[in-house]
Copies of this chain bind each other. A is one copy, B any other.
Amino acid sequence: MNTSTRLRGVFSPVTTPFAADLGPDAPRLVRHCRWLLSQDVGLAVFGTNSEANSMSVGEKKALLDALIEAGVPGHRMMPGTGACALTDSVELTRHAVRHGAGGVLMLPPFYYKGVSDDGLFASYAEVIERVADPRLRIYLYHIPQVSNVPISLALIARLLKAYPGVIAGIKDSSGDWENTKAMLERFQPEGFDVFAGSESFLLANMRGGGVGCITATGNVNPGAISRLYGTWQEPDADAQQKALDAVRGIFQRFPMIPALKAALAHYSGDAGYAAVRPPLVALSPQQHTELLAALQAHGFSMPGWDGGR
């Protein structure tokens, strides 16, 4: 298996801007993606923090078309394509592969709870067989606190055996380092690439043999996070990790998605980046004031981010 073209490094579930009518705002998304790429951060568009599950498959396909048309390179993308409905997962995955996506990040079907590994295996297998494209690279998405459908080590072993090369890795968003460690020890040596679910575990993941992280705060603090990825063997790595944790800690005091969007809007001077789609709600005026005050007190900035204008 050729791993030289595998996705590695820092990715961000790019927040999705919405227009006044709550429709996806492709031009603003393109500008945000360009800035992230300029900071060496890859594009995990349609992740949890992208409000991806609040958009239809058609809306996501159109956004992907717009990104590609704008010249955003497919091989720097890892679109989220897992849905409740088998046919939705197939349609969006196929579209991503045709656009040259470097990989796809695939949630298990997440409506039915307590489903068996047999059923989850069948779900992934059906998508793989139907997409039937040798370019397909699937990163499993383990985020049990949101999906309520965990991806077990036994399921990974089974998928890897049945679809080596296609099953390319995982994003472990469980926040459970013991789980990430078990994946690193058991599967990373087989070429199954482990991404930490946030930069909180970036240094530990790299030291354990992992390949990077996919993180919400990559939307707003991309340069510093990608610097740690590039220099994790340097003497100041622990200090860098501590600095990243401090910034993340500020955002974590607020609902994450609206807080990220509020920062993107404030630091660009373009309020159009702030809108969220129901069921999420924007920060309250008080939360907004508190967030910006905390960021200012910390000396936070977003170098080079002007909203793309």
Query: A65 interface residue, CB < 8 Å from B?
Result: no
Binds B, one of A50-58, A204-212, A219-227, A288-296: A50-58
A74 to B286, CA, bound (A): 48
Contact with B along A132-166 (1 / 0, CB 8 A): 00000000000001111100000000000000000
Query: A182 interface residue, CB < 8 Å from B?
Result: no
Query: A271 interface residue, CB < 8 Å from B?
Result: no
B59 contacts A112, C-beta separation under 8 Å: no
CB within 8 Å for A112 and B57 given contacts A22-B126, A126-B278, A280-B119:
no
Query: A246 interface residue, CB < 8 Å from B?
Result: no
Binds B, one of A82-90, A93-101, A237-245: A82-90
Q: Which residue of B lies closest to A276 (CB)?
A: B119
A146 contacts B111, C-beta separation under 8 Å: yes
Query: A4 interface residue, CB < 8 Å from B?
Result: no
Query: A266 interface residue, CB < 8 Å from B?
Result: no
Report the copy number of this chain in the oligomer.
2
Query: A109 interface residue, CB < 8 Å from B?
Result: yes
Minimum CB–CB distance from A109 to chain B (whole Å) comes to 5
Query: A115 interface residue, CB < 8 Å from B?
Result: yes
Instruction: List B contacts of A119 (CB < 8 A).
Output: 278-281
Instruction: List B contacts of A277 (CB < 8 A).
Output: 86
CB within 8 Å for A54 and B113 given contacts A119-B281, A123-B279, A278-B123:
no
Query: A110 interface residue, CB < 8 Å from B?
Result: yes
* Interchain CB contact (< 8 A) of A86 among B87, B88, B278: B278
A59 to B57, CA, bound (A): 13
A86 to B88, CA, bound (A): 15
B56 contacts A278, C-beta separation under 8 Å: no
